[in-house]
Amino acid sequence: MLEQMAKRSVPLLKQLLSSSAAASSSCSSRFTSHRSVTYMPRPGDGSPRAVTLIPGDGIGPLVTGAVEQVMEAMHAPVYFERYDVHGDMPKVPQEVIDSIKKNKVCLKGGLATPMGGGVSSLNVQLRKQLDLYASLVNCFNLPGLPTRHENVDIVVIRENTEGEYAGLEHEVVPGVVESLKVITKFCSERIAKYAFEYAYLNNRRKVTAVHKANIMKLADGLFLESCREVATKYPGIKYNEIIVDNCCMQLVSKPEQFDVMVTPNLYGNLVANTAAGIAGGTGVMPGGNVGADHAVFEQGASAGNVGNEKVTEQKKANPVALLLSSAMMLRHLQFPSFADRLETAVKHVIFEGKHRTKDLGGNSTTQEVVDAVIAALD
């Protein structure tokens, strides 16, 4: 009977082997998705959705222009409502806020922050007004992009509203300045819940809380307490804690041990930038800010980075980060197949390596990369 089974299975095996050999023979076929997943939409989901677009400063208009072009080429059911906001405005105009509240989704380029006094960052203001309490940066190794570290796949979830960036500073006497870092149980709990939910919904195995509770015992201690409470509700997900300086050291030497990281505000900034740096740079890492009602997608990690004038003049900004963020946005809007197509095309362009901007080691302009992505869309 075993012989009969073997005889029957041989032609099947041959077929499987031949089909897989055919599939791997050309690299392009590796990237056209032979999906077995069918996304079933609700009737009426295909109607175009409005998305607020804020081009921003510096390289912002360049990269958001890139996204608009690609969306048009894909005929994605989104249309953009443009609003001009610049970093030196005292606050975000009310019409922009109203538009975001109506559309619920926004895509934005970086807003420059003037330093050292006066106006507080518009990026932070926007997050506070819309209560976007979770900032997410997804750092992963792109195939074809050489980096010093392999096997990086980290998602940094950072509390976005309180902590060190509360902006509560005052001068006690001339020469002595105090800044308040506020940690509340409410905010820590909701960010921990978001992190664990994200891990659960995206099939992630481990959540790591980053803190400095050996020094700031009450503040980070409260954060850790909230994380531990939420961890007990998700027994299938491993939870551990790591001190922030040790965390940075481990990120630089052994990044494969991290999966999802949940952090308060300041540490999240540093950890996200470090993780983005080891995985290829902030020019390629997607990210977004999400709250209970709204979501704003922007380049991951340093959203306040608007590049320098040289890059803007030569039009050599890297659009990959914002393109991948807009793919995240498409998934958020429940257009997963468009998101898949966009991501596949972008990864294909990076893998080929012919069109890369300066920060990835190439010499192309933004427009060339966009054209390559449009050509790679199937």
Residues making contact with another protein (CB under 8 A): 113-118, 120-121, 124, 148-149, 164-165, 167, 169-171, 174-186, 212, 215-219, 221-222, 244-246, 248-253, 266-267, 269-270, 272-274, 276-278, 281-282, 301-302, 304-305
Which tokens hold the place of 210? 């980053």
Give me the least distance between CB of 301 and another protein, in Å please.
7
Distance CA 374, CA 126 (A): 32
Are 335 and 77 in contact by the 8 Å Cβ rule? The answer is yes
Residue among 99, 96, 102, 109 at smallest CA distance from 283:
109
Give me the least distance between CB of 329 and another protein, in Å please.
23
C-beta closer to another protein: residue 242 or 329: 242
Give me the least distance between CB of 47 and another protein, in Å please.
39
Give me the least distance between CB of 361 and another protein, in Å please.
11
Residue 213 identity (one-letter amino acid): A
- If one counts every other C-beta atom within 10 angstroms of the C-beta of residue 304, the result is 18
C-beta closer to another protein: residue 99 or 282: 282
Q: Which residues have CB under 8 Å from 198's CB, separation 6+?
A: 136, 155, 157, 204, 260
C-beta closer to another protein: residue 39 or 186: 186
Distance CA 303, CA 309 (A): 17
C-beta closer to another protein: residue 263 or 344: 263
Q: Sort residue 322 into left (φ over 0), alpha (ψ -120 to 50) or beta.
A: alpha
Give me the least distance between CB of 149 and another protein, in Å please.
7
Residue among 371, 324, 362, 330 at smallest CA distance from 343:
324
